[in-house]
Amino acid sequence: MNGSANWRHICVDMQRMFAEDTPWHVPWMGGVKDQIIEVSSRHAARTIFTRFIPPVRAEDAHGSWKEYYEKWWMMTRENLPQGLVDVLPELRQFIPPARIFDKPGYSPWLDGRLNVTLRNEKVTSLVISGGETDVCVLATMLGAIDLGYHTVVLEDALCGGADETHEAALKIFGDRFSTQLDLISTEAFLASA
């Protein structure tokens, strides 16, 4: 990372509802937590934690999301134990100065709020960590590239729900987007930040 770059760390959906015993549990989350804590602790003022926020009820969702939440009714906010949408307690300690950005879907870019905030802060580069590699991380990364941000993906600070799709996503990130993003280790990033 260029020392003069104005960058932000986007930590994608490291939430209790994915870490704890729910239908959306991501077992790998525990394996990447230490790397994310390290980046967030060193750069709390540059960190933004996104949170995937389900609707209160399935009928509150729009389009195909309604069907999605009819299937996953137990993950709607009226059924989910209070507090499970929050970031992990180990990361919560960095807020503030770290910030939270809530989103109703996979991508944080759809309504433009995050991009406007970052542009107002003159941000040019984004460092991405979190989960899941082949869903919300992918949506975050593609949006960042589409919007022209220099994008760094911390390959050992990503978690997925399945080995196959996680590994496939990393291969695509490295091969297909090699001119638009840097896929590096957390250690390499921290040494250059």
Residue 157, φ and ψ in degrees, nearest 5? -120, 30
Query: Is residue 95 within 8 Å of 87, Cβ to Cβ?
Result: yes
**Could you tell me if residue 2 is inside a domain?**
no
Structural domain harbouring 158: 7-53+87-192
Distances (CA, A) of 24 to 15, 91, 157: 11, 19, 19
**Could you tell me if residue 76 is inside a domain?**
no
Query: Is residue 23 within 8 Å of 75, Cβ to Cβ?
Result: yes
**Could you tell me if residue 64 is inside a domain?**
no
**Could you tell me if residue 73 is inside a domain?**
no
**Could you tell me if residue 43 is inside a domain?**
yes
Mean pLDDT value across the chain: 93
Name the strand (E) or helix (H) holding 165.
Answer: helix 163-176
**Could you tell me if residue 44 is inside a domain?**
yes
| Predicted pLDDT at 1 | 57
- The predicted-structure confidence for 15-62, as pLDDT tens digits, reads as follows 999 999 999 999 999 899 999 999 999 999 999 999 999 999 999 999
| Cα(21)–Cα(26) distance, integer angstroms | 9
Q: In angstroms, how far is CA 127 from the centroid of its own chain?
A: 10
Question: The CATH number of the domain where 181 resides is what?
Answer: 3.40.50.850
Q: With cut-offs at 50, 70 and 90, classify the pLDDT of residue 99.
A: very high
| Cα(78)–Cα(126) distance, integer angstroms | 34
Mean pLDDT of the region 70-95: 95
Query: Is residue 22 within 8 Å of 59, Cβ to Cβ?
Result: no
| Predicted pLDDT at 77 | 96
| Cα(165)–Cα(53) distance, integer angstroms | 23
Q: What is the CA radius of gyration of the chain?
A: 16
- Say if residue 104 is exposed, middle or buried (CB neighbours under 10 Å; 0-12, 13-18, 19+): middle
pTM above 0.85, yes or no: yes
| Cα(35)–Cα(159) distance, integer angstroms | 11
Structurally, the chain folds into a number of domains equal to: 1
Distances (CA, A) of 38 to 12, 15, 33, 35: 15, 17, 9, 5
Q: In angstroms, how far is CA 63 from the centroid of its own chain?
A: 23
| Predicted pLDDT at 180 | 87
Q: With cut-offs at 50, 70 and 90, classify the pLDDT of residue 4.
A: low
**Could you tell me if residue 68 is inside a domain?**
no
**Could you tell me if residue 138 is inside a domain?**
yes
Rounded (10°) CA dihedral 180, 183, 187, 193: 10
